[in-house]
Amino acid sequence: MGMKHLTFYLDVISPYAYLAFEKLPQVLQGLSYSVRYKPVLFASLLKAHGNIGPAELAAKRDWTYRHVLWLAQAQGTPMAMPAAHPFNPLELLRLAVACEARGQPNRWVCETLFRHVWAQGGSPTDPERLAELRAQLQPADDPASEAVKARLKANSEEALALGAFGVPTVAVDGKLFWGLDALSMLRDYLEGGAWFDGPDWDAAPQVPVGVRRQGGAPALRAGTNRREGSAPTAHNSAARANASSKQPEGQHGHQRRGRGCGQQTQGVDGVVAELVF
């Protein structure tokens, strides 16, 4: 097989994305490949699909932290929980995007940011730590610039259009592989696994929906920004910008609220904030 070109969609807020990032070189060892790393705002994927993050359900949050700490020691990856989680990752994501003109930071930049969050402890958004991180990475562009914000938004919309619903997601040959536990499946595909020549990949989405939970969100159509059974709607960028300008970004311990065009969060100080690109 020829060289494969992979895109790794990530958000540093995700411990599973960190673990997958650290494991990826081992998974790809011996293969001919290239990898592009694209930061996305995980919260925007959750909102688009009417979903909530694993840290937003108390019991699942507890399990997630236990699980990732166990997984880290099992795969030999250093991990120290941040001072608070979830947190607002926008400054870190913008910093990553600002390091490369196309919004595709190299592996060293991503590694530095992931380890800042998941290997060093402390608050990922502490101003002094962020200043040190920026001095270390020396971004080519201002992370607060509109151009950088637009790159992060474009990455996120690209992932969503492909059908991504979470991080980490690896895209290759029009196929998506989601999650740390999909890396072995990715390896099998890249090695030319026979299963992928069969009917099951394409047949799986054709299984009919037998019942929908009352109040559950309809499925988002892959490659679109609308849900099954809904009419197409135009994006109202002006309205989103106006709404977001009236609400400050939160800092720590965020939880999503609502399903508007922005990403509403409830901070530990009780201030409702909106995560915007």
Is 109 a member of any domain?
yes
Is 110 a member of any domain?
yes
Is 81 a member of any domain?
yes
Alpha-carbon 157 to chain mean position = 12
Is 165 a member of any domain?
yes
Is 257 a member of any domain?
no
| Per-residue pLDDT at 276 | 61
Is 252 a member of any domain?
no
Computed over its alpha carbons, how large is the radius of gyration of the chain? 19
Is 72 a member of any domain?
yes
| Per-residue pLDDT at 219 | 59
> Which is nearest to 18 in space by CA: 37, 5, 43, 46?
37
| Per-residue pLDDT at 214 | 84
Please state the rounded mean pLDDT for residues 124-139: 98
- Given a cut of 60, is residue 186 above it in pLDDT? yes
Structural domain harbouring 161: 4-194
Other Cβ atoms closer than 10 A to 106 = 14
Residue-wise pLDDT tens digits, 235-270: 333 333 333 333 333 333 334 443 333 344 443 333
Give 189-232 as a DSSP string: HHTT-GGGGSSHHHHGGGSPP----TTPPPPBPTTSSSBTT---
Tokens of 160: 């969503």
Domain with residue 122: its CATH number is: 3.40.30.10
Question: Based on the structure, what is the number of domains in the chain?
Answer: 1
Is 169 a member of any domain?
yes
Please state the rounded mean pLDDT for residues 35-41: 98
- Given a cut of 90, is residue 273 above it in pLDDT? no
